[in-house]
C-alpha cells in the first residue's frame, strides 16, 4: 500500500478505459463531486453493483469478475467510491463517514436505474460493511445482497485477530509489528515488509507478493490512506481504537435484512469464517459459501469455489 503522496495518477488513465464508463454526480455536505462507474454486460433482470474494500481501495482488485460473470450472463458495475480510484478525491475528512457513504450508494443506484426487480448489491471487506448498512436503510430497492469476507462486528473482527491470527505469527515479527504500531510508525516500509511475508501471505492472498495478480497490485497501490486510517486505523490487524468504525456492530440487526443474501467466508481469511457462517444463519434468507482454500481475497486463491458459489446464487435470483 502506498502513502498519500504516492497515489497512482488515475486522472490520466480514465480517458484510456474502454466503453461503458460513466461519471455520476454525488451531492455531499461538502458540495458536489463525481464518482466513476463502469458497466459490463447487459441483463435487464440481473444487475450487480460492486462495493470495493479498503476503506479507500479501488475497484481494480475485483476485476477477477471478468473471467466468470460475463459468461454467466450477469450485468455488473465496477464503482470507485468517492475518494478512491478514478473518482474525485476531495481533501475533506468529514466525508469519510459511513452514513454519507450509504447515501452515496443510494445516489449511484438511482443514477444507474437499478431497481428491486434487478438490483443485487455486492460488498467485499469494507464494502461488506457498506452493503449491510445500505440494506438496513434501503432494502426495498434490493433483489439480493452479497456480503463477501466481512464480519458483522468490528469488535469481533479485532478480537479474532488478537485471539487467533496474531498468536499464530512468528513472535519476533509480531513484537516488531506491534512496536511500530505503538510508535505510530506504520508508514515505515519495514512495517508492510513484515506484514507482507508473515500476515498478508497467510490471510490476505495466499501466494508470494511478487505473484499477486495485476488487478490486486493496482488495487493496493492506489489505496487512499487518508480514508483507510480514519475509518480502519493504521493497524493492518483488526481495527484501531481511534478508528471511526472501531465500535461498528450490526449482529443484532441482521434479522432485519429480509432479501436473499449470500455470505462468503474463507478458512484462512482475516475474518472469522465461523462468524460469517453464523451471520448467514441470522439472516432470514441467508446462505453461506465457504472457501476452504481461500483467504481474504478468496476470489483469487480459491477462485473456482468462490465463483461457482457466487454464480449459483445469482442464478437463483434470476
131-140 pLDDT, tens digit each: 999 999 999 9
For 214-236, write each residue's pLDDT tens digit: 999 999 899 999 999 999 999 88
Cis peptide before 228 (omega within 30 of 0): no
From the list 80, 269, 272, 302, the catalytic residue is: 269
125 is catalytic: yes
State mean pLDDT over 4-28: 62
**209 vs 103, higher pLDDT:** 103
Burial class (CB in 10 A: 0-12, 13-18, 19+), 304: exposed
What Cα–Cα distance (Å) separates residue 294 from each residue in 59, 201, 231, 291? 20, 11, 26, 5
Domain boundaries, the chain: 4-156+244-317
Beta-carbon count within 10 A of 217 CB: 14
The structure's pTM equals 0.93
Q: Which of 191-200, 240-249, 267-276, 308-317 has the lowest mean pLDDT?
A: 191-200
The residue assigned the cell 439480493 is: 144
**What would be the CATH architecture of the domain defined by 4-156+244-317?**
3-Layer(aba) Sandwich (3.40)
From the list 203, 275, 290, 296, the catalytic residue is: 296
Per-residue pLDDT band at 266 (split at 50, 70, 90): very high
Judging by DSSP bridges, how do beta strands 75-80 and 31-40 pair with one another? antiparallel
Alpha carbons 2 and 223: distance in angstroms, whole number: 7
Task: Name the DSSP class of 249.
Answer: B
From the list 125, 153, 198, 295, the catalytic residue is: 125
Per-residue pLDDT band at 309 (split at 50, 70, 90): very high
296 is catalytic: yes
Residue 15 has pLDDT above 90, yes or no: no
Extended beta strands in 160-285, E state: 261-266
Largest CA distance in the chain: 55
Residue 18 has pLDDT above 80, yes or no: no
Amino acid at each position: 500500500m502506498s502513502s498519500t503522496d504516492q497515489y497512482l495518477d488515475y486522472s490520466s488513465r480514465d480517458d484510456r478505459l474502454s466503453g461503458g464508463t460513466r461519471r455520476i454526480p454525488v451531492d455531499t455536505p461538502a458540495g458536489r463531486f463525481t464518482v466513476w462507474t463502469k458497466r459490463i454486460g447487459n441483463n435487464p433482470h440481473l444487475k450487480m453493483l460492486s462495493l470495493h474494500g479498503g476503506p479507500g481501495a479501488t475497484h481494480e482488485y475485483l476485476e477477477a469478475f471478468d473471467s466468470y460473470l460475463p459468461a454467466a450472463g450477469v450485468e455488473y458495475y465496477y464503482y470507485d467510491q468517492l475518494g478512491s480510484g478514478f473518482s474525485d478525491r476531495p481533501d475533506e475528512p468529514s466525508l469519510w463517514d459511513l452514513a454519507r457513504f450509504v447515501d452515496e450508494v443510494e445516489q449511484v443506484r438511482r443514477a444507474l436505474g437499478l431497481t428491486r426487480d434487478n438490483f443485487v448489491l455486492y460488498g467485499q471487506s469494507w464494502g461488506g460493511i457498506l452493503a449491510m448498512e445500505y440494506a438496513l436503510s434501503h432494502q426495498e430497492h434490493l433483489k439480493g445482497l452479497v456480503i463477501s469476507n466481512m464480519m458483522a462486528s468490528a469488535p469481533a473482527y479485532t478480537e479474532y485477530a488478537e485471539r487467533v491470527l496474531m498468536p499464530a505469527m512468528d513472535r519476533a515479527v509480531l513484537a516488531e509489528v506491534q512496536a511500530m504500531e505503538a510508535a505510530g510508525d506504520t508508514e515505515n516500509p519495514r512495517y508492510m515488509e513484515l506484514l507482507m511475508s508473515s500476515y498478508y501471505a497467510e490471510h490476505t492472498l495466499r501466494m508470494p507478493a511478487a505473484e499477486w495478480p495485476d488487478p490486486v497490485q493496482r488495487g493496493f497501490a492506489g489505496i487512499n490512506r487518508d480514508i483507510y486510517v480514519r475509518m480502519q486505523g493504521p493497524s493492518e490487524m483488526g481495527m484501531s481504537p481511534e478508528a471511526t468504525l472501531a465500535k461498528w456492530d450490526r449482529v443484532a440487526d441482521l434479522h432485519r435484512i429480509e432479501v436473499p443474501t449470500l455470505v462468503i467466508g474463507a478458512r484462512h481469511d482475516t475474518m472469522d469464517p465461523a462468524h460469517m457462517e453464523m451471520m448467514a444463519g441470522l439472516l432470514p434468507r441467508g446462505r453461506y459459501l465457504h472457501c476452504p482454500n481461500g483467504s481474504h481475497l478468496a476470489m483469487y486463491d480459491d477462485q473456482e469455489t468462490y465463483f461457482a458459489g457466487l454464480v449459483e446464487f445469482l442464478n437463483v435470483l434470476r
